[in-house]
Structure 1
Amino acid sequence: MNRTGDLLSEAALTVYRLNGQFLGVGDMLARPVGMTVAWWQVLSAVLDEPMSVAGVARLRGLTRQGVQRVADLLVEQGLAEYEPNPAHRRAKLLRPTAKGVAAIERIGPDLEAVADQVADELGPDGLERVIEALKRLSTALDRVTRE
C-alpha cells in the first residue's frame, strides 16, 4: 500500500478505536439516568425539533431500521412520542417528552465534567481543532464516495 493508503487506513483504525471509547464514555454517562448510548444518540437528535426516523438516521449516520427500533423503545419508555408529520402521512415525527428532556438534562453535568477534562488534556483550542479535522475528513469521504 502507498503512503496515502497507509494514512487513510491509520485514520480509519483510529476512528474505530475512538468510536469504541466514545461508546464507553457514553454508556458511563447514560446508564445512571436509565438510558443507553443508543437512546441518548437518538433522543438528542430530536431535542430542538421533531424529526422523522429517516431524518435521525441520516443525521447520526445510522440505519433507519436501527433508529426505528430505538425510537419505538423510547416511546415505550415514555421518553419520546410520535406526532403527525404534515409533510408525509406515514413517516411520523419523533419528539422528546418532558421525561426524555429531563433525562438528557441529567446527563449534562457529568458530560461537561468529562468534556472539561478532555479539553484540559488537549490544551487551548485543541478540541476545536480536532472537531474541525474530523469534519473535514467526513466531508472528504462524502465527496469521494458519492462519485
Structure 2
Amino acid sequence: MPQTKRTPAGEALSNLILDLFRLNSLLFTAGDRLVAGLGLTSARWQILGAIIAAERPQPVAWLARDLGAARQNVQRIVNDLERDGLVTFETNPHHRRAQLVVLTGKGQQAFDAAMRLQLPWVNGLADGLSTKDIETVSRVVNALRGRLERSEEPGARV
C-alpha cells in the first residue's frame, strides 16, 4: 500500500523545494536588475558563464546540458548573444550542423563587467551567514540535483 502522507524528511524537503522555487525567481530578478545596465539579463549572463566554464567551444546542446536547460531556450538566447556580438559561431569539425559557440572579446568584457558588479552584491548577500551553513546547503542541493539527474521518471524511486 502506498504511503498516504509525507515522511518528516519528505515534508521538510517539500518545504525546501518551495523555498528554492521562490529563491530562484528572486535571484533571476535581482540578477536582471544587476546587469541591466550592461545590456544583459540573468539568462544571458548565465549562458556567458557556461561558455567560459566550458573552457573550449561547445555546441548549444552541450551548453544546455551543462545548464540543465532546454536546448531550444539556450539556442534562442545564444542567437540573441550572437546578434549583439557577444558570441560567434564556428564550424564544428565533429558535427556539420551543430556549430560551436565561441565567446567574443565583447562577450568576455560583458561577462567580466557583470562579475565586477556581482562581487559586492554577493558579498553583501552572504554577510551574516556562516560559510559552514552555506556549504551544507550546497552539499544538499548538489545531492538532490544528482538524484534528479539519475532519475528518469518523476515518480520513480531514486
Calculate the TM-score normalised by the size of structure 2: 0.84
Give the match's secondary structure for 2:89: strand
- Counterparts of 1:92-103 in structure 2 under 5 Å? 92-103=99-110
Question: In 2, are the aligned partners of 1:30 and 1:37 still within 8 Å (CA)?
Answer: yes
* Residue 144 (structure 1) shift: 3.6
Matched residue, 1:19: 24
* 1:75 and 2:79 correspond: no
Q: SS of the residue aligned with 2:101?
A: strand
Distance (whole Å) between structure 1 residues aligned to residue 80 and residue 16 of structure 2: 34
Q: Tell me, in whole angstroms, the C-alpha distance in 2 between the residues paired with 1:9 and 1:105.
A: 37
User: In 2, Cα distance between the equivalents of 1:52 and 1:74?
Assistant: 14
Partner in structure 2 of residue 46 of structure 1: 51
**Bigger Cα Rg:** 2
Q: Please report the TM-score for the alignment, with normalisation by the length of structure 1.
A: 0.90
Report the residue type matching 2:6 in the other structure. N
Structural RMSD (CA) = 1.7
Moved runs in structure 1, 4+ residues, more than 4 A? none
Code of the aligned partner of 1:49: R
Task: Report the equivalent of 1:2.
Answer: 6
Identity, % of aligned positions: 35
1:19, distance to aligned residue in structure 2 (A): 0.6
Which blocks of at least 5 consecutive residues in structure 1 are unaligned?
Answer: none
- The structure with the greater share of residues assigned to helix is 1
Q: Check conservation: 2:85, 2:106, Cα contact below 8 A.
A: yes
Note the residue ranges of structure 2 that are not aligned, 5 or more in a row: none
Given candidates 108, 113, 127, the residue that maps to 1:106 is 113
